Amino acid sequence: MENLNQNTQECCPEFKPELWRDIILEWSNKKFIKDSICTMFYMPLNFGKVMRRMDKKLKKSGASTPDSLCLADHTSMWNMDVYLAVDKDVDDAKNVTLNGKFFSRVYEGNFKDTGIWIKDFEKEAKTRAYTTSKLYMWYTTCPKCAKKYGKNYVVIIGKVENL
């Protein structure tokens, strides 16, 4: 990817992969707001609209998003639930919490490699004797910012059941 002019307006903070690479996260009542995105064969159709809706609720409540963390749960070829991390409950939003231990692994490249990344993630988890029950994808930047930074990082975060 080519880098854009560094003076270009930033909407996504630059991702620091070393902070998320091959670590165990321990979440106790980690707050998120949840919404759903329509997909067609896993490709999001209304991602921007849903994120703007979530951002509006976030700002209205005076909440912020720690680490710009937004998890995607591909529930089918036609739906993706998104979980936006928040620092407090958000009015008029579906507030949820995640609890437990989660294994985090960072990937970089084109989204078409998602299947390869998932196989690698599962292999690495098995190597470490982790049993994962749920996988979330974190698309760390929008396409414009990925182009600007020259990297398209995706983090797979899997809930670990046997730690």
Q: What does the alpha-carbon distance between residue 86 and residue 97 come to, in Å, rounded to a whole number?
A: 10
Under the banding of pLDDT at 50, 70 and 90, the label for residue 10 is low
Pairing state between β 94-108 and 153-160: antiparallel
pTM across the whole model:
0.89
| Domain-embedded: residue 113 | yes
Domain that holds residue 102: 20-160
pLDDT digits over 74-84, tens only? 999 999 999 99
pLDDT digits over 134-154, tens only? 999 999 998 889 999 999 999
| Domain-embedded: residue 81 | yes
- CATH number of the domain at 109, please: 3.20.80.10
| Domain-embedded: residue 14 | no
